[in-house]
Structure 1
Amino acid sequence: MPATVTTLPSERANEPSSEEMPCCSVRVKMGESAPAPTVLIVGAGPAGLFAACELLRHGVKPRIVERRLAPHGETRGTALQPAVLEILDRAGLIEPFLRAGVRVRHIQLLGPGLQEILKSSFEDVGCTYEFQCSLPQCRTEAILREHLKRLGLEIEFGTNVTSIEDVPADLRMTLETDGRTELVTAAYVLGAGGGHSITRHSMQEHLAGETYDGRYVVADVKFRLPCPPECGRVIVGSTGFGLFSPLPDDRWLIFVNRDEADKRRELPTAADLSALLNARIGVDVGLSDLRWVSYFKMHKRDVERMSDWRRFLLGDAAHLSSQLGGEGINAAFMDAADIAWKLALVILGAAQPSLLDSYAIERGLADHHVLEVSDEVHSLVMELVAMCDGGGAPTLPPRDPAQNVAAARRRSMLDVSYAGSALVGQAGAVVEGPSPGDRFPACLSLSGTCHHLIVFGEAPRLDYLRARWDKLVSIVDASSAHFDATKAGVPNGGAILIRPDGFIGFRATPANETTMDAMDAHLTTYLVPNVGAERRAVINCSRSADSD
């Protein structure tokens, strides 16, 4: 069958090639319609779907393909952490998640006889959402698909990407759908196809690391064992553990370790699973209504490179962490949020292509942190299981309240920092409080998709900066917006630049000629200034000086 060839704007006759203009033929002003799609998203899991949502919000319409013939109905990853709930809020998507999910405010660690070892809470983590939102992954994906459909973007199910090749200035993909072959080119590819990623394979990257000992079962069930409201549990015994995470409709996601000698491939029945779980925790949980079950292994793996400038790896295509940490799906959302605003600015001609280099650096730092946290949780559970051997009583050293809050923030992913990235800078005095690279605590008070320059007190050259950066940077008077200088990390005044993803990009302390020039120079390293407006601002300033 002859191949069907779909071309993007850069290949059409009488239009500039991508070598002449890498992203689009005109600079598109914020708020106007975007150029024709130049982004192909491979995979319609949480990472791919949310990347599409964010690209649309930032003014770019991608194409998204999925090799599955239809959406799955599997429970899989369930707990959305507080930091990701903030991301969903900024994306305008929080309400359907809060309506669909259940809130988990506490986590219990229990030993033999259901004796409590530790109870942790998300209280006082310093976030609007001091809880996890738990719902089946299939429902998470359905919410994102419904949002994309309202915005006019359909997922192309049953479309398999079989090859990705480098060609001059672009990437060329082979797509297969119902026996038909389609050749497409795109400037950028987001690889969100999971652990068996064709995008990662085309980059000759590998998920390096380790696979944890043991094999496990995950299932969506009901049971009768009483449990406190809004509480998840891990119960350990001498032969293993059971993890219980609440779901809507009085259902539960459970993890339990298999016997080492169990080599069966057929999935367990409800009776099999009930017997296994009861043996692990030493009580009858009263398991019933098995809806979904699967075998799995746990990994601690990531790639060396998350991008090669045109290809970007998201979610499980780039990293695999222990499910006991509950952070894999959350890292996928954060990957998508990071690449979307950067890619959109480049495609719209508002940023230099070098901005895209920061994705691998920033998400590499953050995802390595995720692997560390997940490994800590995994190791803790296994250590407690080992303590139970021979009838021992598992214990943990006491922690003070500050340590408890720090641990909860770490689990909540609120302590993710991009410090060390080229998109993060500082001029002037170093002070205590949130630092460049950290999440801005009041990020939900800022709306839109632009950068925000928040000024605490007086600052020079604001008219010049306002004109120079036009709609790319919104200047905010902190006193009018009621921002707290100490909580913002500028207790003695100054100015902070908040990136479109809610992280602090630059801090000027104090805000004087030198530090504000440094702020402007920092923006120049990756954004494209509005040259015409900048010249007008300079002329107006000169005229004003002459009249004085």
Structure 2
Amino acid sequence: MTGTTGNTGTTGTTDTNASARIPTPTPTSTTAPVIVVGAGPTGLLLAGDLAAAGVPVTLVEKRPHRISNLSRAFVLHARALEQLDARGLADGLEAVGRPLDRLQLFGRLGVDLTDLPSRFRHVLVLPQYEVEAVLERRAVEAGVDFRYETEVTGLAQDGDGVTVEIRGPGGRAESLRGVYAVGADGMRSKVREAIGVPFPGRSVIRSVVLADVRLAEPPGTLLTVNAVRDAFAFLAPFGDGYYRVIGWRRGHEVSDREPLGLDEVREITRLALGRDYGMHEARWMSRFHSDERQAPAYRVGRVFLAGDAAHVHTPAGGQGMNTGLQDAANLGWKLAQVVSGHAPEALLDTYQAERHPVGRSVLRSSGGIIRLAMAHRPWTLALRTALVTVLDGVAPVRRRAAGRITGIGYRYAAPRGAHPLVGTRVPDVALAGGGRLYEALRGGRFVLIAPRSHDVGPDRAGRLTAARWASDRRTAVLVRPDGHVAWAADSADAAAIESALAAHVG
């Protein structure tokens, strides 16, 4: 769940040459094929994926080398957990988080996640800093070159690469040179500004309060949320004795810099939930306002945007960190393929084509939830009641809504004439020999699942895993490193499979 402290978006036309913003070049220069800016969950996952694939990467982060114990995001959904499982990280996070398989919304709507078509039939409540710590360890072990306390001061690109000007500790200036650069540096992205990409949108809700508190009388359900005419509140456990409170009260929209006291958090909670559960001992409190914004272009030349640098939305549904992680999972393997010479550069265009529609859909779903929570006029309250009734009573509608929020319901567009499975997300299917798909995906490899064994050849051994179905199936499926189908055929001989591998694996 990601809250954003918004500012107005930039406007203007997209500019592929930002050299006018570059200060005088400095004599020091470092070269890496990919430069990633921003060491939040998105940047850490992306940098770790690239380094694990053998692509040298430099990660630039403005903050000091320190994982904060304060966090706005605190929910991992099923699709993000699947991506982490494909990197061998999900089980460790499951051990420290709190799984919730049922959510209670607006007093009467129960959302049961136990029938999700995923290994992870729940949401996992844990703070963002726990996710960042795991991803940082992985990136360090993979050999990522970290540059903490370093900010971007300019960026330019040409036909051969990208030059990123940075200022490090003590004000030391340096030039970084890469083949590609990725801005994962949040809502106020310096990278997005440097390439001239606007960030249109608006603030949706102001003066939302956040607090991590202890409760003298914990609620009976693990996750509590409700909305009345003039307030809403959300309560969820971290598992360490503290609870996250998110609340809003109509008619009290003050500046984000206005001091926040525990009495105000208690008052909003009582108004929305009927009681404050003996709230005390706040370790952190903050105000924020939530924006809905999306960059029209996720790629400009050799520069890409991911995570909050590409899209921000309301915290409803807890989709912020999750969407960013999936951006990184989509882009990382494509950059690795192209940089390593195993795929044409045109593959990188599919990042915009696949992820931009998902970002737009998340804006709509999270915005719809927050507007339902803020409803107070008779007709909007009636609409909320009607929608809750439909969701509660119509199973296909409920499954579709759950698929969108958890991320498992998205599929990518396929070329005309492609097999119906192309672009779909593949669940964690069982493989012959007792393994499963998301174990086979570890290492950033493609996975070929076929009825019979297929010799992948020595040239592809490090980039492709060949497996057989555990069940009796005739379909051959080539699964991309991000768990989506690249190619499929209902009946394919060795020659057809080899042709598909040449086209997709290289």
Q: What range is the shorter-chain TM-score in?
A: 0.7 to 0.9
Q: Who is 2:489 aligned against?
A: 508
Inter-CA distance 495–249: structure 2 relative to 1 (3 Å threshold)? same
**Per-residue deviation, 1:316:** 0.2
**Per-residue deviation, 1:390:** 10
Query: Superposed, which structure 2 residues align to 1:423-442 within 5 Å?
Result: 426-427=418-419, 435-441=421-427, 442=429
Which SS does the other structure have where 1:85 is aligned?
helix
* 1:6 is aligned to 2:1: no
Deviations, residues 263-282 of structure 1 (Å, cap 9, x unaligned): 35333111222123223333
CA distance in 2, matches of 1:199, 1:285: 44
* 1:98 is aligned to 2:121: no
* 1:446 is aligned to 2:432: no
Structure with the bigger RCO (C-alpha within 8 Å, sep 6+) is 2
Which SS does the other structure have where 1:133 is aligned?
strand
State whether residues 232 and 249 of structure 2, in contact with CA within 8 Å, keep that contact through their aligned partners in structure 1.
no
Which SS does the other structure have where 2:136 is aligned?
helix
**Per-residue deviation, 1:157:** 1.5
Query: Superposed, which structure 2 residues align to 1:17-416 within 5 Å?
Result: 37-71=32-66, 72-110=68-106, 116-153=107-144, 155-177=146-168, 178-229=170-221, 231-264=222-255, 265-383=257-375, 385-386=376-377, 396-397=388-389, 398-416=392-410
AA of the residue aligned to 2:40: G
Which SS does the other structure have where 2:476 is aligned?
strand
Which SS does the other structure have where 1:323 is aligned?
coil
AA of the residue aligned to 2:29: T
The runs of 5 or more residues in structure 2 that have no matched partner are: 1-23, 430-436
Deviations, residues 346-368 of structure 1 (Å, cap 9, x unaligned): 12222222211111111112222
Q: Who is 1:490 aligned against?
A: none
* Stretch of structure 1 that moved more, 303-312 or 267-276: 267-276
CA distance in 2, matches of 1:393, 1:437: 33
AA of the residue aligned to 1:85: L
Inter-CA distance 181–467: structure 2 relative to 1 (3 Å threshold)? closer
Which SS does the other structure have where 1:212 is aligned?
strand
CA distance in 2, matches of 1:184, 1:53: 19
**Per-residue deviation, 1:445:** 5.0
CA distance in 1, matches of 2:142, 2:111: 40
State whether residues 232 and 247 of structure 2, in contact with CA within 8 Å, keep that contact through their aligned partners in structure 1.
yes
* Stretch of structure 1 that moved more, 53-62 or 305-314: 53-62
State whether residues 190 and 312 of structure 1, in contact with CA within 8 Å, keep that contact through their aligned partners in structure 2.
yes
AA of the residue aligned to 1:418: Y
- Structure showing greater radius of gyration is 1
State whether residues 237 and 388 of structure 1, in contact with CA within 8 Å, keep that contact through their aligned partners in structure 2.
no
**Per-residue deviation, 1:525:** 4.7
State whether residues 231 and 268 of structure 2, in contact with CA within 8 Å, keep that contact through their aligned partners in structure 1.
no
State whether residues 55 and 61 of structure 1, in contact with CA within 8 Å, keep that contact through their aligned partners in structure 2.
yes
Inter-CA distance 179–306: structure 2 relative to 1 (3 Å threshold)? same
For normalisation by structure 1, the TM-score amounts to 0.78
State whether residues 101 and 113 of structure 2, in contact with CA within 8 Å, keep that contact through their aligned partners in structure 1.
yes
CA distance in 2, matches of 1:139, 1:415: 26
Deviations, residues 289-344 of structure 1 (Å, cap 9, x unaligned): 11112211222221111012411111000001110121010011001111111111
* Stretch of structure 1 that moved more, 201-210 or 321-330: 201-210
Which SS does the other structure have where 1:148 is aligned?
helix
**Per-residue deviation, 1:172:** 1.0
Inter-CA distance 388–366: structure 2 relative to 1 (3 Å threshold)? closer
Deviations, residues 355-390 of structure 1 (Å, cap 9, x unaligned): 11111111112222222322232233234x556999
CA distance in 1, matches of 2:384, 2:335: 52
CA distance in 1, matches of 2:353, 2:384: 43
For normalisation by structure 2, the TM-score amounts to 0.85
Query: Superposed, which structure 2 residues align to 1:473-512 within 5 Å?
Result: 473-478=464-469, 482-483=470-471, 485=473, 493-511=474-492
CA distance in 2, matches of 1:164, 1:172: 6
Q: Who is 2:9 aligned against?
A: none
* 1:456 is aligned to 2:451: yes
